[in-house]
Structure 1
Amino acid sequence: MRYTVDTAVFAINSNIKFGILIGDNLKNSETTKDDEDRLRAAESKMRERIQADNVRELQSVSFYREFMTQAGINPNKFPPSVEAMFKRIVKGGQLPVINALVDLCNAVSIEQGISLGAHDLADIQADLEVRHSKSGDIFLPFGATEYEKVDEGELIFTSGNVVQTRKWIWRQSELGKTTINSKNIFFQLVGFDDKEDSSLIKAMTDIECLIENRFQGKCRKYIVDCNNTCINF
């Protein structure tokens, strides 16, 4: 299978980096006490250092919003998913317990302040792309049973013509959602720096550790950027 980021994406901002991990043969489970403790600790630390009115000032959130604006997406109407999640947390809310993999991915996202999507490869039948939408692209909203058409020219993450995430990193599809039975997962992280101490690399290392240690799977990882726009996996 192939994953490609269209060159038009890098024309918006050449510094954008996509951290990709493939987790093979994972053994997901119900959320344990240790799993939930990590999630709650991440939420608590975020509340200690960030006020509700300051979420948009987080460097990653600010970068995501700026990129969306440059891509023609209104981040006030379609905020990056992590912004909505972080606001919920700092206002005192807790994320629901879903399953170990989802909850620990959320913990890593909170700890590193980064956009992190996990997609079950069982639902993905065609090559993956980050590109602008075109005629014939369709999307199955989370919890829905009927597909909706996607307007042309929208920045999307897609498998063939079946969109996995609309408005870049705004909303994931019902297809590819991570369940307790998920075994093979495609992880997509988005950052703007891939230095060793960057949030992107730290988060990728955290996910790799979870894949190999918590979920007893195997991991492959890649960086896709303006100098390396596609991978085969």
Structure 2
Amino acid sequence: MYFQHSSDLWAEHPGLAAGVVLATGITPDVSVEEPIAEFGAVAGRRLAAGPEAEFPEIQAWRRTFSKMGLKPTQYRCASEALLRRFKKEGDLPRIHPLIDLCNAASLAFAIPVAVFDLANVSGGLEVRHATGEETYLTFSGETENPEPREVVFADAEGRAHARRWTNRQSGLSAVRPSTASVLIVAEALHDSAARDVEELITTLAGRLGEVWPVAPKTTMLSRSAPRLEF
């Protein structure tokens, strides 16, 4: 399998930093409340100092969404949406231990984190511009076709596992109780993105190894080394 960003995306977004965590051996029968609380405390301190809209991580994604022709207050990157909900409710709903942990890390770092169940990904994933022919399965079970030029996570069969880049994941490869092998992707575009994404994936891999009997592997991708094969 593989994960990569297209050369077009690297050319259009030279400030992109992308990190990947691979793990096999995930189960739903663990507790992640301790790291969730720690990550939540970090997010709480940042939000107490100022609104999420002023975070450099969020501002960079807003500029990127605007560049893609999307209204940044209508289509928000995943980390901004999580921060807004966390600020309003003081917590996030529990879905699955892995998702809960990754959402909490996303809060703390203000960086979008996507998690894909590899059992439902064909061949691999490429983050690229859509042709408009890809299929996307919503969480409600409906099938959509992304707009041409929209940024999607597409597999080898032309199935889109995320729409509008970091805005909306598909129900097809969502983590579920049977999930065992996952690909976790973190992406950022702000000035210190490379350093912050590397810290995020290193921290997250460490937490995974503490909770599950897994040996996560981390990789940073770049324009000169854009592809990971595994």
**Runs of 4+ off more than 6 Å:** none
Distance 1:47 1:58 in 2: 9
Q: What is the CA-CA distance between 1:199 and the residue it aligns to?
A: 2.0
**Which residue matches 1:228?**
225
Q: What is the CA-CA distance between 1:133 and the residue it aligns to?
A: 0.3
Q: What is the CA-CA distance between 1:93 and the residue it aligns to?
A: 4.0
Distance 1:181 1:40 in 2: 27
**TM-score of the pair, normalised by structure 1:** 0.88
Residues 145 and 194 of structure 1: is their aligned pair in 2 closer, same or farther, counting only changes over 3 Å?
A: closer
**TM-score of the pair, normalised by structure 2:** 0.90
Residues 118 and 40 of structure 1: is their aligned pair in 2 closer, same or farther, counting only changes over 3 Å?
A: same
Aligned length: 227
**Which residue matches 1:84?**
81
Q: What is the CA-CA distance between 1:170 and the residue it aligns to?
A: 0.5
- Alignment of 1:218 onto 2:215: yes
Distance 1:149 1:84 in 2: 23
Q: Which moved more, 1:122-131 or 1:39-48?
A: 39-48
Deviation string 1:144-173 (CA, Å, 9 cap, x unpaired) is 223112221111112131111101111111
- Alignment of 1:69 onto 2:58: no
Deviation string 1:11-54 (CA, Å, 9 cap, x unpaired) is 2221201101111222332545435534553453344333xxx3
Query: What amino acid is the match of 1:165?
Result: A
Q: What is the CA-CA distance between 1:77 and the residue it aligns to?
A: 2.1
Report SS of the residue matched to 1:91.
Answer: helix
Identity %: 20
Q: Which moved more, 1:198-207 or 1:168-177?
A: 198-207
Residues 33 and 149 of structure 1: is their aligned pair in 2 closer, same or farther, counting only changes over 3 Å?
A: closer
Query: Does the 8 A contact of 1:46 with 1:89 survive in 2?
Result: no
**Which residue matches 1:26?**
26
**Which residue matches 1:156?**
152
Query: Does the 8 A contact of 1:10 with 1:16 survive in 2?
Result: yes
Q: What is the CA-CA distance between 1:211 and the residue it aligns to?
A: 2.3
**Which residue matches 2:3?**
3
Distance 1:127 1:99 in 2: 23
Deviation string 1:92-143 (CA, Å, 9 cap, x unpaired) is 442111222111111111111211111111111232100000142011112x
Distance 1:31 1:106 in 2: 15
- Alignment of 1:45 onto 2:53: no
Distance 2:114 2:164 in 1: 14
Report SS of the residue matched to 1:179.
Answer: coil
Gap runs ≥5 in structure 2: none
